[in-house]
Amino acid sequence: MLQKYDLINSALVSTPRSDSAIHIYSNPTAEERKHLIASLNLDQHSLSSALDPDEISRVEFKPDLTFMVWKRPENYTFTGEVRFNVSSIGLVLTTDRLVIILAEDTSLFNEQYAHRMENQLDIVLNVLSQTTRHFLEHLKVIKQISREIQQKINTALENEYLIQMFSLGESLTYYLNAISSNAAVIAKLRGNIDRMKLSAQQTEFLDDILIENSQCYKQAEIYSNVLSGLMDARGTLVNNNMNVILKNLTIINTIFLPLNLIASIGGMSEFSFMTKGVDWRVSYAIFGIAMIALGCFTAMIISRFGGWQKKRKLA
% pLDDT > 90, the chain:
10
Does the domain at 2-241 match CATH 3.40.50.10860? Answer given as no
Least confident of 105-114, 205-214, 267-276: 105-114
CA distance 176 to 221: 7
CA distance 117 to 101: 20
Q: Look at residue 248 in the predicted model and tell me its pLDDT.
A: 84
Q: Print the SS3 string covering the chain.
A: CEEEEEEECCEEEECCCCCCCEEEEECCCHHHHHHHHHHHCCCHHHHHHHHCCCCCCEEEECCCCEEEEEEEECCCCCCCCCCCCEEEEEEEECCCCEEEEECCCCCCCCCCCCCCCCCHHHHHHHHHHHHHHHHHHHHHHHHHHHHHHHHHHCCCCCCHHHHHHHHHHHHHHHHHHHHHHHHHHHHHHHCCHHHHCCCHHHHHHHHHHHHHHHHHHHHHHHHHHHHHHHHHHHHHHHHHHHHHHHHHHHHHHHHHHHHHHHHHHHCCHHHHHHCCCCCHHHHHHHHHHHHHHHHHHHHHHHHHHHHHHHHHHHC
Task: Write down the mean pLDDT value for the chain.
Answer: 80
Q: Look at residue 43 in the predicted model and tell me its pLDDT.
A: 80
Least confident of 50-64, 88-102, 104-118: 104-118
- The pLDDT confidence band at residue 79, using thresholds 50, 70 and 90, is low
Q: Look at residue 282 in the predicted model and tell me its pLDDT.
A: 81
Give yes or no for a contact between 173 and 108, defined as CB atoms under 8 angstroms apart.
no
pLDDT digits over 208-262, tens only? 999 999 999 999 998 888 887 777 666 676 677 778 888 888 888 777 777 676 6
- The pLDDT confidence band at residue 181, using thresholds 50, 70 and 90, is very high
Mean pLDDT for the stretch of residues 175-198: 89
CA distance 149 to 146: 5
pLDDT digits over 20-43, tens only? 888 888 888 888 888 888 888 788
Give yes or no for a contact between 40 and 92, defined as CB atoms under 8 angstroms apart.
yes
Q: Look at residue 179 in the predicted model and tell me its pLDDT.
A: 92
Q: Residue 312's Cα: distance from chain center in Å?
A: 41
Provide the whole-model pTM: 0.71
